[in-house]
Amino acid sequence: MVSTWGLNLFDRLHIGHQVMIDRLSEMPNPIACVTGGELVGKGLELEKLIQPIEIREKNLKDYLQRTELENSVSVKTVTKFDDLLSIKEDVTFMMYEGPCCTEIEAGALDIRKKKMGMNDTMEYLKPVRAHDGGKLASARIRLGEIDREGRRLRGTSEPPRELPLKGRSGLKAPKGEVFAAVDGEPEKRVVSKLKDDSPECVIAVGDVTVGTILAERYTPHVMIVDGITKRGPFEERFTGDIIYTIYNPPAVIYPEAWSVIDTAIHDEANSLVLVEGEEDLMGFPAVLLASDKSVVLYGQPNVGIVWIPVNPENKQVARALLEQMPVIQ
């Protein structure tokens, strides 16, 4: 039975991937193949920051479910050339041109043709263009050049960093005024101060903090959430005038986080940043990127809300702490 295999990393599931899925769904026996292992091209930008294959597979399946294509398009993970060599019938292989495509074609697909006598069909999709006219690619998203919708971001020169286990408690210590829950509902006092002080930009980090501030009918300029609290998944869903999604695992800060937060701060709208992973360290980019006279709010579990004024002193402290985090090579 003839089948169609769409081969892609599916890293940071973006609109280019959606275009591939739309085309794939029109083909006979479509299979969306999440590639990894031997099938990953050499020398990819920030290769170490590619999402783990199980996350890429989950995101793809979730997308197919949301678009009601889960019964039409199958999902398969392919990590070895032997996975392609084991296909015993002619196949249509669908790919975007790029490093991974070259690796696959020069490897298993060339063997299938020359040594196995397979008469496969190759379908190369035209690149999807980002808003700046450049190619929309996962590598550009990892670099912080564009987001998953193809929107141009402000960019960053910050390298990816990882927080060593021994330094985590110190880096997460509050560096501002604590509005403690023992003194009454902290969100009410925080919102009252926000209305009195009128900061230039208000950045709220954490689902509980964002939820309680919104409940007081105050909308921060930037809201950064990851859908997780100390007690487990956070059920409330948020929205914003502009919504960004980033991948940022626990105890790291990736370039896309810097670039998206910087862009959100400068948006003339209330922006929501959805973090796949963890937002615990997002206060560092917020403090360093926001203008003076701004404020960063985050929750301290079982204590209350921490108010961090953005000023030269706190920027210096944040930068000094950040520099303790080793760069991911």
Lowest mean pLDDT among 19-23, 98-102, 137-141, 157-161: 98-102
Q: Which residues is 295 bridged to in the sheet?
A: 202, 309
What dotted CATH number matches 3-143?
Answer: 3.40.50.620
Domain ranges of the chain: 3-143, 161-323
Please identify which residue in the block is written with the tokens 């678009």. 67
- Of the candidates 124, 141, 93, 154, the residue with the CA atom closest to the CA atom of residue 290: 154
pLDDT tens-digit profile of 35-93? 999 888 778 889 999 999 999 999 999 999 999 999 999 999 999 888 888 888 999 99
**pLDDT in the model for residue 169:** 56
Residue type at position 90? D
Tokens of residue 253, six digits: 């800060």
The proportion of the chain whose per-residue pLDDT surpasses 70, expressed as a percent, equals: 92
Please identify which residue in the block is written with the tokens 């999604």. 245
Lowest mean pLDDT among 115-124, 162-171, 276-285, 305-314: 162-171
Contact 269, 240 (CB under 8 A): yes
* d(C-alpha 12, C-alpha 208), whole Å: 26
Contact 154, 263 (CB under 8 A): yes
pTM of the full structure: 0.92
Better-scored residue on pLDDT, 90 or 235: 90
**pLDDT in the model for residue 190:** 97
Q: Which residues is 75 bridged to in the sheet?
A: 32
In this predicted structure, the answer to whether residue 226 has a pLDDT above a threshold of 60 is: yes
CA angle centred on 46, ends 138 and 96, rounded to 5°? 30
Lowest mean pLDDT among 107-116, 161-170, 243-252: 161-170
